[in-house]
Amino acid sequence: MSRLDRIVAAVRERHPGALLAVEGDSRLPALAVRPEKVVPLLWLLRKDFEFESLMCETASDRKESIVIVYHLFSTPHREKLSVRTDLPGENPAIETVERIWKAATWYEREIFDLFGVVFRGHSDLFRILLPPDWEGHPLRKDYEAAPEYHGVNIEW
């Protein structure tokens, strides 16, 4: 049984119904999971399977949903794994993972700023790239930029 098979078996055993699909290939497998099961599943991967590094946490707008992807790395096993979940496009929210990996603090602030995803329980969630009074989230497909910001023309 491969390590990925052991991971999938452990997820199915400890978090029934959490796993929606196993995607990708052997170089970068991805687990698609239910949003409400993300945090417990990521704790399992961190503690029991030594994915001690959150290399990146990112998002993508697919119009009807916002996809959050956690890119993990296990140094002892020299192994990568992605975990993804789909949030509703309207009022997307999910629990923070900054208690699992401190690096998530910055990644989640960026996702909040550019996509409008609210990370419940986040210690310091506010815009990181854009000014606090900026309206909207520029990486959303439905974003329409204002023609100017504080008197400065920003049309492209």
DSSP 27: S
Contacts of 73 (CB under 8 A, 6+ apart): 51, 52, 53, 55, 79, 80, 81
Query: Among candidates 39, 48, 8, 33, which has minimal Cα distance to 101?
Result: 39
Locate the DSSP E strands across 62-124: 65-74, 79-88, 93-95, 118-120
- Band (pLDDT 50/70/90 cuts) for residue 155 is low
Query: Cα angle vertex 112, ends 111, 114, to 5°?
Result: 65
Q: Are residues 95 and 43 in contact, defined by beta-carbon separation less than 8 angstroms? A: no
pLDDT at residue number 85: 98
Measured CA to CA, the distance from residue 52 to residue 72 in angstroms comes to 8
Cα 107 from chain centre: 8
* pLDDT tens digits, 84-119: 999 999 999 999 999 999 999 999 999 999 999 999
pLDDT at residue number 146: 81
Domains of the chain, start order: 3-144 (3.30.460.80)
Is 150's pLDDT higher than 90? no
pLDDT, mean over the chain: 95
Is 156's pLDDT higher than 80? no
To the question of pTM greater than 0.85 for the whole model, the response is yes
Q: Are residues 147 and 124 in contact, defined by beta-carbon separation less than 8 angstroms? A: no
* pLDDT tens digits, 41-77: 999 999 999 999 999 999 999 999 999 999 999 999 9
Contacts of 25 (CB under 8 A, 6+ apart): none
